[in-house]
Each structure stands twice: as C-alpha cells, then as structure tokens.
C-alpha cells in the first residue's frame, strides 16, 4: 500500500497543466490526402493537400491548409472547368467561404489564368472576388488591376480599378474590408468600367 501511494504521488507531480484552446488547437490533423466533394449527388470538386487541420470546436468552425492546396472543379460530365491553387487556404464552414492567400493561381476552361496574392471564393453565392492586385492572362491580351469579381467558373468577370502600368497608381483598397471580407465587393469606391475598352473587359 505504501509503494502504491508513493507511485501515485510521483505520477501527479509529472502532470502538465494543459488548457485546450479550440481557436488555435485543431481537433484533427491529416497529412498528404485528397477529398472528393459532391453537390446533389454529383462529384464537383477534388481537393489535394499536404496538411489539413480541422478546427470544428472553434467559435467559427474552419479548416486550415497551411501548406497549400490544389483544387479542381468539375462540370456534371466530369470535365475540369477550373483549377485553383494557393500556398495557404482557409475554409469557413458556416459561411461556405474559402480564403486563399499567397501565390493564388486559377485557370478556367478557356485557358485564361488569374494570379493574385489573395482571393475569396463564396460558395454560398457562387462568386469569386478580391480587393487586391490581380493579373489575368488571356490568349491575346493581359489585364491588370485592383478589385475583382467573377462567377465560380471564372468566365464572367470584371476588374473594378484597371491599371495598365503606364500611369502612376496609388494603391488603396477597392472595397471596405472586414474580418473575412465576405461582403466584398458590394460597395465599390472606384469607377467600374465595362465593355470593350482597353483597360477592362467584362466577359459575357
């Protein structure tokens, strides 16, 4: 009995006081895997990643991809209609909102390439947007500017503040920002140019 009590006391002395913070400690970590996501029973997305962290106990549940991801979006007949890659990504479950950051690159079915340092993808409302600098490479031209909005397929898009590099440009946010920027770009502070003008194209 004496040896048992001494043993129990030693174990108590070695315990570490641990406080669980669901905002910074994930409930699950997965390495080197991929997911297939469906919509109405049809596979629409494939997500590949090196590290996947789930914070489902956080106040606002989210998923975190610290080493980046590669995503493919499929048509109903399983043709790839867009690819997305980024160095870092977050997915906010309740809002169905993706936040992509650092070396964000998107390519649509037409072979058009979109590059930015930050991009938001609102799956709930079917739109992609950003208030940062973006470049769009097409077969016969290249578009540049600040403030961007598009449909999910990246085929119907516009730049709110075009910039071709020939004139001085003062960098200021194209839209008001908040913690997740989920309401952008409803209130635009600069002019919106549409049509076939040299600086900006609205794809119909």
Residue-wise pLDDT for 20-39, tens only, equals 788 999 999 999 989 998 87
Alpha carbon 5 to its chain centroid, in Å, reads 55
Beta pairing partners, 122: 97, 127
Tell me if 82 sits within 8 A of 126, measured CB to CB: no
Q: Which of 53, 73, 44, 41 is nearest to 154 (CA)?
A: 73
Look over the chain and give the mean of its residue pLDDT values, rounded to a whole number: 80
Q: Which of 25, 32, 98, 107 is nearest to 67 (CA)?
A: 32
pLDDT, tens only, 139-181? 889 999 999 999 988 999 999 999 865 444 455 554 444 444 5
Tell me if 133 sits within 8 A of 172, measured CB to CB: no
Sorted by where each starts, the structural domains of the chain and their CATH numbers stand as 27-162 (2.60.450.10)
Name the most confidently modeled range: 2-11, 19-28, 80-89.
Answer: 80-89
At 19, is the pLDDT very low, low, confident or very high (cuts 50, 70, 90)?
confident
Q: Provide the percentage of residues in the chain whose pLDDT is more than 90.
A: 55
pLDDT at 189 over 60: no
The Cα–Cα gap between 119 and 105 comes to: 9
Angle 131-86-152 (CA atoms, 0-180°, nearest 5)?
60
Q: Provide the percentage of residues in the chain whose pLDDT is more than 70.
A: 71
The string over 98-107, giving b where at least 16 C-beta atoms fall within 10 Å of a residue's C-beta and e elsewhere, is bbbbeebbbb
At 76, is the pLDDT very low, low, confident or very high (cuts 50, 70, 90)?
confident
What's the full length of the chain, in residues? 204
> What pTM did the predictor assign?
0.71
The string over 160-181, giving b where at least 16 C-beta atoms fall within 10 Å of a residue's C-beta and e elsewhere, is bbbbeeeeeeeeebbbeeeebb
Q: Which residue has the higher pLDDT, 130 or 186?
A: 130
Residue 41 pLDDT: 83
Residue 188 pLDDT: 36
pLDDT at 49 over 90: yes
Q: Which of 83, 32, 92 is nearest to 59 (CA)?
A: 92
Q: What is the CA radius of gyration of the chain?
A: 22
Residue 97 to residues 26, 61, 94, 190, Cα–Cα distance (Å): 19, 11, 8, 25
Residue 14 pLDDT: 63
At 204, is the pLDDT very low, low, confident or very high (cuts 50, 70, 90)?
very low
């Amino acid at each position: 009995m004496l040896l048992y009590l001494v043993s129990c006391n030693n174990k108590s002395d070695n315990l570490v006081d641990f406080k669980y913070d669901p905002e910074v400690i994930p409930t699950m970590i997965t390495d080197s895997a991929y997911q297939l996501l469906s919509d109405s029973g049809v596979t629409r997305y494939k997500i590949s990643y090196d590290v996947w962290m789930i914070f489902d106990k956080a106040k606002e549940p989210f998923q975190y991809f610290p080493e980046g991801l590669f995503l493919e979006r499929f048509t109903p007949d399983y043709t790839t209609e867009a690819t997305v890659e980024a160095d870092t990504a977050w997915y906010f479950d309740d809002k169905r909102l993706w936040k992509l950051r650092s070396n964000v690159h998107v390519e649509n079915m037409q072979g058009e390439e979109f590059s930015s340092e930050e991009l938001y993808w609102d799956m709930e409302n079917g739109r992609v947007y950003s208030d940062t600098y973006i470049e769009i490479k097409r077969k016969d031209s290249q578009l540049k500017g600040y403030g961007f909005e598009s449909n999910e397929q990246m085929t119907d898009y516009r730049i709110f503040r075009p910039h071709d590099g020939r004139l001085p440009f003062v960098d200021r946010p194209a839209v008001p920002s908040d913690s997740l920027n989920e309401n952008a770009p409803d209130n635009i502070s600069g002019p919106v140019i549409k049509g076939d003008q040299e600086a900006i194209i609205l794809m119909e």
